[in-house]
Amino acid sequence: MITIEFGAAENQTLDRNSLFIRFMGNDFRENLDKIKSFWNRTYLKQTYEWEVPFSCWGEIKELYKDTEIKYLNEPPKAKQVTDNDILEGLDFNGYNLYDYQLDGVKYGLNHYNFLLLDEQGLGKTLQLISLARYKKEHRGLKHCLIICGINSLKWNWVKEIHKFCKNEDAVVLGTKVNTKGKVVPITVEETKQQIDSCPEQFFWIINIERIRLNKEDEKNKTGIVHHLNKQIEQNNLGMIAIDECHKVKSITSSQSKGILALDNKASKVGMTGTLLVNNPYDLYCPMSFIGLINYNKWLFERKFVIKDEWHNIIGYQNMEELHNILYKSSIRRTKDLLDLPEKMYKQEWLEFSKEEQSVFNQVIGQEEFKLDKIDEPLEIMAIITRMRQATVASELLTTKCTKSTKFDRLKDILEEAKNNNEKVLVFCPFTQALELGLNYCKEYSPKIVKGGMGQGVQQVVDEHESTEGFSVLFAQEATLGVGYTLTNTSIVVFLSPPWSRATYDQCCDRCHRIGQKKTVQIIDLLIQDTYDEMIYKKLHGKGAMSDVLIDGAEMDSVKQYFTDMGIEFKKQSIEKEKDVKTLLDGLIE
C-alpha cells in the first residue's frame, strides 16, 4: 500500500502543490522501484516521503493502478479562471486577445513554471504580458523580469509593452537616460546598484549576456544574478520569463550558469517557437530553468547521451521519454489556429558567370589562388565561409570581379516589388555583403539592420514598416531573424541559405504572423552546383525539417556534420586539390 497526501510544494517548482507519497507494507521494494523510475520526483529525507508535482497525479495513479492507494486528505481545488476574469480590469489599449491566447494565459495561471512553445507569429509576447498583468492585479505580483535571449529584442519588448498596456511601463536594466534625454548603457556595477534600488517600473528587461556568471562572481555571490535573487528573496521580483530560451543551450556556458542560478521562489516561463529537440543538450537548460527536470549534468548525460570509451558523443537514447517529459509542462499551438494568408516558396536556381565561377574555383582549390582581398583559406570553416561569400558576391573576395548574379537578380525582384508597392525583406549573414547590397541597389533607397545597432534596430524596422508603399530592408539573420514583426512586408529574399531550418523558419515568420493580410512570398536565390545546393537540400530534404546543420561557432560540430556525411577530417588544414574536391563532391552528392 502507498499513502498520498496533498500539500503545498516544498522542493519541486513546477506546481504550487505536490503529492507526498509514502510506501508501506510488503510491496515496499517494488513500489520504490516504480517511483525511482518516475521522471520528476524528489526524496524528502526528513519525512521519508517522495514529492511529485500535483499535475502528475494522473500518471501516479496509472503507475500504481495495481497498488492500494490511501489518500490522507482531499486534493486542493484551484479556482477556475475564466476569460472574463482575465479581461476584466485589464486595458489592452484597443487590442483583443484571441481565444487561444486566453487559453495560454489560463495555462500559465495553472502552472507555476512552464514553457510557452507557440509557433512564431502567434503572439507569445502578448500572452506573457497579459499573464504578468493578471498576476499583478490578482496575485500581488510586484515586478516581472524579462530576459532577452537576443540583445536587440530589449527595445522590441519595451515597444510591445507600450503598445498593449496603457498604464504599464518598462525599464531596460543596464541603461539610463542621460542629461540630454538619450538612453545610454551603464556599467555592470551601476547595473547592480540599479537592481538594488528596485526600479518602480512593473516590467524589468535585461539581455541574457548581463546574466553571465563567472567563477569569481559565482564564488563570492557578487554577480548580477545574485542581486536579482535578493529582490526575489524580498518578494519584489516574483516572475521571470526568458524570451527565445532556445538560445540558452550550452550546459557549461557562463550565461547558462547564471540562468540556472536564479532563485526558484520566482515563477518562471521559457518562451520560444523553435525549441530544438533533436539534440538533448538543447533542452537541458530550458527544462532545468523551469524545474521540469532535476538531473544534474552528469545524470542527464547518462540518461540521454551515448558516449564511446573516449567520451566522444556517438548518439542519443531515450528521446521519446525526453520529449514526453518536455510536453508535461509546456503548451504549443501552431498557425493552423489562425486564418493567415499562405506562404509561397520559390527557388530560383542561378548560374555563375565565367568570372564568378573562376573565383569560386580558386576558393575550393581547382584554380590557382589569386584573390586579392583575402588570404588563401586552409581551415575548413574558412573554406566554407568563403564558398558562401563567393555565391553571394565575388566582390567580397577580389577586386578583379565586380559582378554578382544574385544582386543582379535581386534588382529585378525589387523593381517588380516597387511597381506593385510591396515591401521586401532581404536576409544575408554577411555584413559586408549587406553593405555591398546597399550600393548595388542604391536607386531603391534600401535600409539596413546589422549587429551592434542596439535600439536602432527597432527604429529602422518601424521606418521600413511605416513607409507608404514600396520599401526594402537588408538584414542579418542573427539580428532580425527572431522577435521582430514586419507584417506590412510580403516578400522575403534569402541571398544565402541559413544553416538551420529553425533559423530559416524564424526569418520567414517575421512577416508571416498575426496582422499579415497578404500572401508572403519567400524567394531563395541559389547558385546551382555549389555549397548553396547542398545546404538547401539539407534544409528542405526529407526528415531534415528540424535539423541543426552546423553551429558556426563550434568546430567540433562542423567536423561531426561532415563525418556524418561520410567525409572524415583527420586534421583541420586541408590539402587543396584533392581534399577540397572530395569535400565538395560529398556536399553536392
Which whole number is the average pLDDT over 8-27?
Answer: 84
* Higher-scoring residue by pLDDT: 238, 333: 238
Question: Which residues touch 58 (CB under 8 Å, ≥6 apart)?
Answer: none
279 has pLDDT over 50: yes
4 has pLDDT over 80: yes
Which whole number is the average pLDDT over 21-36?
Answer: 82
Contact 359, 395 (CB under 8 A): no
**At 340, is the secondary structure helix, strand, or coil?**
coil
Contact 123, 514 (CB under 8 A): yes
- pLDDT for position 570: 35
Can you read off the three cell numbers belonging to residue 356? 564568378
Residues 138-151 have pLDDT tens digits of 999 999 999 998 77
Q: Using pLDDT thresholds of 50, 70 and 90, give the confidence band for residue 278.
A: low
Contact 149, 286 (CB under 8 A): no
- φ/ψ (deg, to 5) at 360: -60, -40
- pLDDT for position 541: 56
Which whole number is the average pLDDT over 497-517?
Answer: 85
Domains of the chain from N-terminus onward: 2-71 (no CATH), 83-337 (3.40.50.10810), 343-587 (3.40.50.300)
pLDDT-above-90 percentage for the chain: 31
Helices (H), 341-455: 354-364, 380-392, 405-419, 431-440
Q: Using pLDDT thresholds of 50, 70 and 90, give the confidence band for residue 276.
A: low
410 has pLDDT over 80: yes
Measured CA to CA, the distance from residue 589 to residue 583 in angstroms comes to 10
- pLDDT for position 259: 94
Q: Using pLDDT thresholds of 50, 70 and 90, give the confidence band for residue 93.
A: confident
Measured CA to CA, the distance from residue 17 to residue 9 in angstroms comes to 5
Can you read off the three cell numbers belonging to residue 490? 510580403
Query: How many residues can be counted in the chain?
Result: 589
